[in-house]
């Protein structure tokens, strides 16, 4: 297989398995998505989805969020982990959204990355999933799978993102990044992985890991 044939095989296989790509984090608008993605760092989507209803019942917009103290936010979100950093980030970014962006989440990568506790991956998720602007957020699943499929050298997530954007058509990025995550969770886990269950790895991937 040529590199382009491998890429097409990935696209076709994922489209067959996951024609629909619901966003895993429960949210109602760009702000609640931003907060949910921030909370998901080193946690699971399922755990975040159990906590955000409790938080959003009290504050589902930046104006209500800054009425809470950092300590109050931290107490609610503690089960997702890293609550001291995340609570300060949520409080701080809510103030910035009010002061600089009229209380709205900006559809701009540079502005998003300026927000406290919002890194490149979080900003990319918001751009793609909240605003449908092409981005290719690379999480641990995508980084692992792109390496296993021999589509990147696996040195770091920055290189993996560059390779993904170079190999896959831009109009597919937003859907593909979710499809790869779904595939990784189901067929190509970090632990307990079996190559016989992993059709993409078995067909195009590295023979030794």
Phi, psi of 153 (to 5 degrees): -85, -10
Residue 198 annotated in active site: no
Among 26, 45, 139, 165, which one carries the catalytic annotation? 139
Longest dimension (CA), the chain: 58
Catalytic residue, chosen from 6, 74, 86, 121, is: 121
**Contacts (Cβ under 8 Å, ≥6 apart) of 57:** none
Residue entry with tokens 């760092």: 41
Active site residue 121: yes
Contacts of 170 (CB under 8 A, 6+ apart): 134
* Cα-based distances in Å from 26 to 48, 78, 111, 207: 9, 18, 23, 38
Distances (CA, A) of 3 to 6, 75, 99, 152: 5, 49, 48, 11
Burial-class residue 172 by CB neighbours within 10 Å (0-12, 13-18, 19+). middle
Catalytic residues: 121, 139
């Amino acid at each position: 297989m040529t590199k382009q044939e491998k890429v097409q095989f990935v696209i076709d296989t994922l489209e067959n398995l996951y024609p629909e790509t619901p966003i895993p984090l429960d949210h109602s608008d760009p702000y609640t998505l931003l907060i949910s993605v921030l909370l998901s760092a080193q946690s699971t989507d399922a755990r975040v989805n159990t906590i955000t209803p409790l938080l959003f019942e009290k504050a589902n917009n930046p104006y209500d969020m800054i009425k809470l103290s950092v300590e109050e936010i931290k107490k609610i979100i503690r089960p997702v982990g890293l609550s001291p950093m995340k609570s300060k980030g949520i409080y701080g970014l809510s103030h910035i959204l009010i002061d600089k962006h009229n209380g709205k989440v900006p559809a701009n990568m540079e502005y998003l990355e300026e927000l406290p506790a919002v890194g490149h991956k979080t900003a990319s998720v918001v751009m793609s999933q909240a605003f449908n602007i092409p981005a290719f957020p690379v999480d641990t699943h995508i980084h692992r799978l792109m390496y296993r499929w021999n589509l990147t050298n696996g040195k770091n997530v920055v290189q993996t993102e560059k390779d993904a954007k170079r190999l896959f058509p831009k109009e597919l990025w937003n859907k593909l990044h979710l499809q790869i995550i779904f595939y990784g969770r189901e067929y190509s886990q970090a632990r307990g992985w079996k190559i016989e269950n992993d059709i993409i790895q078995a067909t195009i991937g590295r023979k030794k890991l």
